[in-house]
Amino acid sequence: MKKLRRNARMLCIQHLYAYLQQENEILDNVIERSLLLNEEPEFDEEFFRALIHKTINEIDQIDERIKKRSKNWAFSRITLMDKIILRQSIAEMMFIEDVPPRVTISEAIELAKEFSTEESHIFVNGMLDRIYKDLIEEKILLPEISRVKKG
């Protein structure tokens, strides 16, 4: 399941990029066309569809969170790929309940390393960590409980 979700996240980033480059296009049309060309071997399609729709449907709310936390860095200066990774990850934290936020953040760091600039993973990590703490403070998310090892 882990690999299927990772593949779904990578596919989601690619579809979000394609969608955001095409003005006045219907999201489902972009998804269906892109899936026909998909080369990812296997992915969690239900997770993929939920993630891409939540990201686009909640993009204004998500962008406000990014703007609030990108102090000293204008939103317009954030690379498109970093915005996409942040948007997708925030949507996952807020709306996909069966994924722990720390897993989402870890996956976002790996995506930034693979798809964005050399330093992007540091920026993405810092932004998502701050936004995660905001979501806890706002009681949108509960803090993760650390497991105590019995020894």
With respect to residue 124, please indicate whether it lies within any of the assigned structural domains: yes
With respect to residue 26, please indicate whether it lies within any of the assigned structural domains: yes
Angstrom distance (rounded) from CA 94 to CA 19: 21
With respect to residue 150, please indicate whether it lies within any of the assigned structural domains: no
What range does the domain containing 115 cover?
2-137
With respect to residue 92, please indicate whether it lies within any of the assigned structural domains: yes
With respect to residue 145, please indicate whether it lies within any of the assigned structural domains: no
Q: Is the overall model pTM greater than 0.85, yes or no?
A: yes
Q: How many domains does the chain have?
A: 1
With respect to residue 142, please indicate whether it lies within any of the assigned structural domains: no
The alpha helices in 43-137, defined as continuous H runs, are: 45-57, 59-69, 80-95, 101-115, 120-137
The pLDDT tens digits for 49-70 are 999 999 999 999 999 999 999 9
Domain CATH number, residue 46: 1.10.940.10
